[in-house]
Amino acid sequence: MSEVPPAGFVRYRSPVADPRLGLHVGIFGLVNQLGRGGLLSADDEAFRRTANAWFDAAYPDPCTVDPSVYDRTVNPGAVAWFRTTATHLLERVPPYLDLLDRYAVAWERVESDDPGRVVYADDVQVVVVP
């Protein structure tokens, strides 16, 4: 029996689409909603701020390259996916998932070789319109 190769892209997101946005919110969005809502403990808020700062420094913000990437008119439903080869970033995801679990926020891992029409790409991520 041959092994199935891993998919090229992975996304951690809410299992149900947000009706206001019409999309599945990613883990950073889910954690940031908790933080902005004042729902995190002091330690968890400190983690959120520190971890977000690391991610902000570790990879480019697609909006700084192309401000229209997440424009709902130009690219409706655009969402980001990690490349599975970005292991140095993916290794830092589990603490976000643990935090969501502690606050009973549902999430799921989704993998795909073809998540949608690519509107932005770099060496660690793509932004696609499904």
Q: Give the percent of the chain with pLDDT over 70.
A: 95
User: Is residue 84 pLDDT above 90, yes or no?
Assistant: yes
What's the mean pLDDT when you consider all of the chain? 94
Task: Render pLDDT for 47-58 as a digit per residue (tens, 0 to 9).
Answer: 999 999 999 998
Please report the DSSP string for 13-51 in residue order.
E-SS-BTTTTBPPBHHHHHHHHHHTT-S-HHHHHHHHHH
User: Is residue 2 pLDDT above 60, yes or no?
Assistant: no
User: Is residue 103 pLDDT above 90, yes or no?
Assistant: yes
CA distances from 5 to 9, 21, 115 (A): 12, 33, 16
110: Cβ–Cβ under 8 A, 6 or more apart, which residues? 10, 11, 12, 13
Q: Please give the pLDDT value at position 80.
A: 96
The mean per-residue pLDDT over the stretch 55-73 comes to: 92
Judge whether 26 and 95 are in contact, CB under 8 Å.
no
Q: Please give the pLDDT value at position 60.
A: 87
At residue 47, what is the residue type?
F
